[in-house]
Amino acid sequence: MFKRILNHIRQGTFFSVLLQNKAAKQRERRVQKTLDRKLDLPDQDVLAGVEKTLKKYFNNPLSTYEGLPNDYIRNIARFIISRRSRKLLPDEEYYALLQQTEELDHTGISCANWKRLCYLAFCNGLFQVSARLRDKAIKNAYQNLDSKDPNPGGLIEAFKAAVDQADYQAAEAVLGRISGKFYDQAYLNNLSLYYYLMKRDKEKAWSLVQPLLTANDLAYADYLKGKSVAVVGPAPSGEDLGSEIDSYDIVVRPHYKGKEYVPNSKEFGTRVNVSYYGGIIKTINEFDNLHFFNALDYAVFKAIKYPFQEKMYKKQHSRVCFSTKVLLFNGVANMIPLIIFDLLHFKTSKLKVFKVNFHLAEQLYYDGYAFKGEEASFISRWPLFAGHNQITQLNFTRNLWYSGQIEVDESCEAVLRLTNEEYMSKMEDIYVKEPIKKS
């Protein structure tokens, strides 16, 4: 068994990709912690400390980072310092950095390293820079489409990039080139299913979904079949949509914890039939009373971890949702995109999204959605946004909206109509510039 795993790793198989991704995330966390420590140094030592960290990061002997100009790394360091110390450098200097980012050669470093730099920039308040670095990663991934002998990992990056860009012709071409020699059939089927779901080829998607369905999934499929579904997010918009929301056959909300936590009914509606739960389930497990689950037709979890979930699962009043893990180009799905992705696997008649603005507001959630102490400060939200990558969330939802698979309310539509650059600029106005001006 051990020899077989070693062979997989030597051949660059799926197992090695997972290990590399895990190692990359661990490196990212180490680098960010090191940067945080350096930023606590006396002023005269900060620039040298941050530059040294960045140089070490981009000249790690395990990878090659040649291709990034030294002055570009220095500029990144300067802006990290200015934003972390809450002292903005002049706008003209930031525009110069954005222009310098635009002019970087996308072939200069690998796709994985572009994504790491994108993450690093986002973590430190350089949202617009991060968006442009992500574009470099996309372009770099596309190189594998024309390569006569691409590595298997590169083909997967090309596939994810193509789906992210709604370039389904390119995505299909990549699927035709991926060999079972490098990836197991279950993983290839997962990629194909993702492709058909996003492309809106429901029949082919359903043929791949059916073998994956558990008894609980099949019951959920019957429950949803032919029904109109409202997915209601937690973002206040001022629009009184309660009546429209309550008119749907099924109303889905994330993180339902009982009537005492339900928002303004005139704006958000009153009904809830299904609730999806993410990381909050750890806190819910500590509740003395879980009576609120009785109000739901279904509770859908990202994973079954606690005894109360196992009991609900055995009664078929719950299930585990389909995961976007290893499918998105970068970042981890937020709750609403995850809910949408899961619902795409079933035959609903209509799917509309309400109260979602992709964090483009100073008040992220209605009162009561997050527990006390969970509301993060502006600056501490940067790594949270980086981990999810907001453009990934935006592209995913926008692609489904453009293809007619989902409908959205007016406030969500206004965000989806923004370019990614416009969106990131507005995000900086809220989470970087304004908090600094107010302090």
Say which DSSP state 432 is in. I
255 Rama class: left (phi>0) / alpha (psi -120 to 50) / beta? left
Give the domain-ending residue among 151, 183, 201: 151
Question: Do 314 and 237 reside in the same domain of the chain?
Answer: yes
Q: Note the pTM of the prediction, 2 decimals.
A: 0.87
Question: Do 42 and 142 reside in the same domain of the chain?
Answer: yes
CATH of the domain at 234: 3.90.1480
Tell me the helix, strand and coil percentages in the chain, rounded to 5: 60, 5, 35
Question: Do 108 and 252 reside in the same domain of the chain?
Answer: no
Q: What are phi and psi of 359, to 5 degrees?
A: 70, 15
How many domains in the chain?
Answer: 2
> Does residue 121 form part of some domain?
yes
Question: Do 111 and 219 reside in the same domain of the chain?
Answer: no
Question: Do 236 and 383 reside in the same domain of the chain?
Answer: yes
Distances in whole angstroms, Cα of residue 258 to Cα of each of 229, 271, 293, 320, 364: 20, 11, 8, 21, 20
> Does residue 261 form part of some domain?
yes
Contact 18, 107 (CB under 8 A): no
Per-residue pLDDT of the chain (439 residues; tens, 9 = 90+): 333 333 333 333 333 344 445 665 666 677 667 766 766 665 556 666 666 766 666 555 434 456 788 788 888 888 988 888 788 889 999 999 999 999 999 999 989 889 989 998 999 999 999 999 999 999 999 998 888 777 888 999 999 999 999 999 999 999 888 876 667 888 889 999 999 999 999 999 999 999 999 999 999 999 999 999 999 999 998 899 999 999 999 999 999 999 888 888 999 999 999 999 998 999 999 988 899 999 999 999 999 999 999 999 998 889 999 999 989 999 999 999 999 999 999 999 999 999 999 999 878 888 878 765 444 567 888 988 999 999 999 999 999 999 999 999 999 999 999 999 999 999 999 999 877 654 4
> Does residue 165 form part of some domain?
no
Contact 154, 141 (CB under 8 A): yes
Question: Do 221 and 143 reside in the same domain of the chain?
Answer: no
> Does residue 371 form part of some domain?
yes
Range of the domain at 139: 2-151
CB-CB neighbours of 375 under 10 Å = 13
Among 152, 159, 166, CA closest to 190: 159
The pLDDT of residue 59 is 53
Sign of the alpha-carbon torsion through 94, 417, 383, 56: negative
> Does residue 28 form part of some domain?
yes
> Does residue 108 form part of some domain?
yes
Burial class of residue 398 (count of CB atoms within 10 Å of its CB; 0-12, 13-18, 19+): buried
Question: Do 274 and 421 reside in the same domain of the chain?
Answer: yes
Question: Do 17 and 125 reside in the same domain of the chain?
Answer: yes
> Does residue 163 form part of some domain?
no
Question: Do 131 and 223 reside in the same domain of the chain?
Answer: no
Question: Do 227 and 138 reside in the same domain of the chain?
Answer: no
Question: Do 113 and 245 reside in the same domain of the chain?
Answer: no
> Does residue 140 form part of some domain?
yes
Give the domain-ending residue among 104, 126, 151: 151
Instruction: Quote the Cα angle for 88-91-93, to 5°.
Output: 95
Distances in whole angstroms, Cα of residue 182 to Cα of each of 14, 41, 157, 162, 239: 7, 47, 14, 20, 50
Question: Do 125 and 236 reside in the same domain of the chain?
Answer: no
Give the domain-ending residue among 116, 133, 151: 151
